[in-house]
């Protein structure tokens, strides 16, 4: 068993550390975080729009008029539907920061470059017409949201790389002597922006001459679709969860590291469900959304450790585990489990790593089965924060379905059963130590 921790310490850890420390992945993760508060605020309006109370719709229509829902959802359009724009800014900002170059301009240039990559036209179906026509002069709202997310990410990286390269190489116009320094300085700031815009402009023109038509189409076909398949499959999700658990087993923040890669995919899946839900679709497209993992799998934090906290409170014989249970209950309720992972500890503890990996993998499968058979409602794309306590979280994430709360309860029981024998062994060991045996 010590060989196992050896491998973790000497093989997994350094690789994980290097990946996690990679600046683009970090910028991606930190930049996307900028969209979260807005999306959560938008979610509140979404919840209010679809409260599962009988007679609610009629009541609202009578009180506020027939267009009540449209009006109520205005903020959704300005939060969910502009996530690509915000993410593009955030990612460029964070990346520039990591290169120690001025981040605010980098963010602004990135937004401009993203819009440059987006054709300003929307499809319009005139009354009485059978075929939609493309109308110019409008920024397509659809591409500002999750549909444009991957383009925004790539452009943010590209534009910031160009931006910092030029600044770091100190490429400047050489103005003749006698020109005031402040004037030549203002030109220094112009060059990177001009080059970024020029590059993206050329890219767009090149792409317009191909069958793809726009950068959004290329990225959607070549990146969005394969990634969606990867992130939307059971196998892909199991692998992702396994990696999260493996990283946490070495004491590294697995969810944060894997989230750097999977975050955008799950966010896009979340939003695809939100759009379908908002349009009243019967069948939601995705099971594996951000909420699937945050709320249905990681009950009590990564590793679904809430069951472990409860058994510490109820069944522990050793003082150490009893105390830890009391300490970890409050945070655990809000899905924070560092006291457990580092305090029990689970990190580098071969005995506890086994259920720590098995438990979440098992409930990925139970949740998948429950949702794909229609037994339990799928998450509707309401961005319930990952800190939402169980039962409430499942209820809200499924758009107010009791089945969501029940599934969390069921998953809790599954993880309880998996953790219990391992917990007993560990507790007994601790108890024996305390008794001085």
Partner 1 sequence: MRILLCCAAGMSTSLLVTKMEKAAEEQGVEVKIWAVSADVVRNHVDDADVLLVGPQVRYMLPQLKKVGQEKGIPVDMINTVHYGTCNGAEVLKFAKQLVTK
* Window contacting partner 1 (CB under 8 A); options: 74-82, 174-182, 332-340, 423-431: 332-340
Q: Is 387 in the site for partner 1 (CB under 8 A)?
A: yes
| CA atoms of 190 and 173, how far apart (whole Å) | 10
| CA atoms of 281 and 261, how far apart (whole Å) | 29
- Crossing angle of the two packed helices 149-168 and 181-208, in degrees rounded to 10: 140
Complex with partner 1: residue 285 or 331, whichever CB lies closer: 331
Q: Is 102 in the site for partner 1 (CB under 8 A)?
A: no
Q: How wide is the angle at C-alpha 300 spanned by C-alphas 297 and 303, nearest 5°?
A: 55
Q: Is 389 in the site for partner 1 (CB under 8 A)?
A: no
Q: Is 40 in the site for partner 1 (CB under 8 A)?
A: no
Q: Is 261 in the site for partner 1 (CB under 8 A)?
A: no
Q: Is 21 in the site for partner 1 (CB under 8 A)?
A: yes
Q: Is 271 in the site for partner 1 (CB under 8 A)?
A: no
Complex with partner 1: residue 84 or 324, whichever CB lies closer: 324
Q: Fill in the per-residue mask, 211 to 250: x = in contact with partner 1 (CB under 8 A), - = not in contact.
A: -------------------------------------x--
Q: How many CA atoms lie within 13 A of 352 on its CB side?
A: 23
* Window contacting partner 1 (CB under 8 A); options: 42-50, 105-113, 155-163, 331-339: 331-339
Rounded to a whole number of angstroms, the CA Rg of the chain reads: 25
Shortest Å distance, C-beta 343 to partner 1? 3
Q: Is 256 exposed, middle or buried (0-12, 13-18, 19+ CB in 10 A)?
A: middle
Complex with partner 1: residue 107 or 193, whichever CB lies closer: 107
Q: Is 374 in the site for partner 1 (CB under 8 A)?
A: no
Complex with partner 1: residue 60 or 327, whichever CB lies closer: 327
Compute the Cα dihedral for 243, 248, 253, 255 and give only its sign. Answer: positive
Residues in the chain: 437
Shortest Å distance, C-beta 302 to partner 1? 10
Complex with partner 1: residue 14 or 226, whichever CB lies closer: 14
| CA atoms of 214 and 398, how far apart (whole Å) | 35
Q: Is 351 in the site for partner 1 (CB under 8 A)?
A: no
| CA atoms of 325 and 331, how far apart (whole Å) | 10
Q: Is 258 in the site for partner 1 (CB under 8 A)?
A: no
Shortest Å distance, C-beta 78 to partner 1? 24
Shortest Å distance, C-beta 143 to partner 1? 26
Complex with partner 1: residue 94 or 216, whichever CB lies closer: 94
Using CB under 8 A as the binding criterion, the count of chain residues that bind partner 1 stands at 34
Q: Is 94 in the site for partner 1 (CB under 8 A)?
A: yes
Mind giving me the DSSP string for 118-160?
Answer: S-SEEEE--TT-SS-EEEESS--HHHHTGGGHHHHHHHHHHHH
Shortest Å distance, C-beta 127 to partner 1? 48
* CA torsion, ordered 285, 289, 292, 294, to nearest 10 deg: -160
Q: Is 325 in the site for partner 1 (CB under 8 A)?
A: no
Q: Is 338 in the site for partner 1 (CB under 8 A)?
A: yes
Q: Is 140 in the site for partner 1 (CB under 8 A)?
A: no
* Window contacting partner 1 (CB under 8 A); options: 109-117, 172-180, 339-347, 349-357: 339-347
List of residues 6+ apart from 366 with CB closer than 8 A:
407, 410, 411, 414
* CA torsion, ordered 329, 418, 390, 80, to nearest 10 deg: 120
Q: Is 30 in the site for partner 1 (CB under 8 A)?
A: yes
Of the candidates 293, 292, 295, the one whose C-alpha atom is nearest the C-alpha of residue 391 is 295
Q: Is 81 in the site for partner 1 (CB under 8 A)?
A: no
Q: Is 327 in the site for partner 1 (CB under 8 A)?
A: yes
| Cα 361–chain centre separation | 19
Instruction: Output DSSP code: residue 11.
Output: I
Residue from the set 101, 272, 304, 324 that interacts with partner 1 by CB under 8 A: 324
Considering only the C-alpha atoms of the chain, give the largest distance between any 2 of them, rounded to a whole number of Å.
87
Q: Is 304 in the site for partner 1 (CB under 8 A)?
A: no
Task: Judge contact between 361 and 327, C-beta under 8 A.
Answer: no
H-run or E-run covering 238: helix 234-249
Q: Is 105 in the site for partner 1 (CB under 8 A)?
A: no
Respond yes or no on whether the N-terminal peptide bond of residue 345 is cis (omega within 30° of 0).
yes
- Judged by the rule CB under 8 A, the positions of this chain that interact with partner 1 are 16-18, 20-21, 26, 29-30, 33, 94, 97-98, 248, 251-253, 255-257, 324, 327, 331, 334, 336, 338-345, 347, 387
């Amino acid at each position: 068993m010590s060989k196992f921790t050896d491998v973790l310490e000497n093989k997994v850890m350094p690789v994980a550390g290097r990946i996690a420390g990679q600046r683009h992945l970090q910028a991606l993760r930190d930049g996307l975080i900028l969209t979260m508060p807005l999306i959560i605020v938008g979610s509140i309006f979404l919840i209010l729009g679809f409260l599962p109370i009988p007679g609610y719709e009629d009541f609202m229509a009578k009180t506020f008029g027939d267009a009540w829902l449209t009006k109520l959802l205005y903020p959704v359009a300005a939060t969910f539907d502009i996530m690509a724009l915000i993410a593009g800014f955030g990612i460029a900002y964070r990346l520039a920061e990591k290169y120690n170059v001025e981040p605010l301009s980098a963010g602004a240039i990135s937004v401009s470059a993203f819009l440059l990559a987006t054709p300003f036209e929307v499809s319009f179906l005139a009354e009485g017409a059978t075929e939609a026509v493309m109308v110019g002069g409008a920024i397509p709202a659809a591409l500002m949201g999750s549909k444009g997310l991957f383009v925004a990410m790539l452009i943010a990286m590209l534009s910031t790389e160009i931006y910092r390269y030029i600044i770091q190489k100190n490429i400047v116009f050489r103005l003749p002597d006698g020109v005031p320094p402040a004037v030549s300085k203002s030109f220094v700031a112009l060059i990177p922006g001009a080059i970024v815009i020029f590059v993206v402009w050329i890219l767009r023109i090149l792409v317009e001459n191909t069958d793809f038509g726009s950068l959004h189409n290329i990225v959607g076909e070549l990146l969005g679709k394969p990634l969606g398949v990867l992130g939307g499959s059971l196998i892909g999700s199991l692998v992702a969860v396994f990696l999260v658990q493996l990283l946490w087993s070495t004491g590294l923040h697995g969810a944060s590291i894997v989230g750097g890669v999977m975050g955008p995919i799950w966010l896009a899946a979340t939003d695809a469900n939100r759009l379908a839900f908002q349009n009243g679709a019967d069948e939601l497209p995705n099971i594996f959304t951000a909420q699937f993992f945050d709320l249905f799998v990681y009950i009590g934090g990564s590793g679904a450790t809430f069951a472990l906290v409860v058994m510490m409170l109820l069944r522990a014989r050793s003082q150490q585990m009893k105390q830890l249970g009391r300490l970890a209950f409050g945070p655990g309720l809000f899905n924070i489990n560092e006291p457990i992972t580092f305090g029990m500890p689970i990190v580098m503890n071969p005995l506890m790593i086994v259920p720590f990996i098995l438990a979440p993998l098992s409930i990925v499968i139970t949740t998948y089965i429950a949702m794909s058979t229609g037994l339990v409602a799928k998450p509707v794309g309401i961005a319930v924060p990952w800190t939402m306590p169980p039962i409430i979280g499942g209820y809200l994430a499924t758009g107010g379905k009791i089945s969501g709360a029940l599934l969390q309860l069921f998953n809790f029981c599954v993880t309880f059963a998996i953790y219990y024998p391992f917990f007993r062994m560990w507790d007994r060991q601790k108890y024996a130590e305390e008794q001085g045996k």
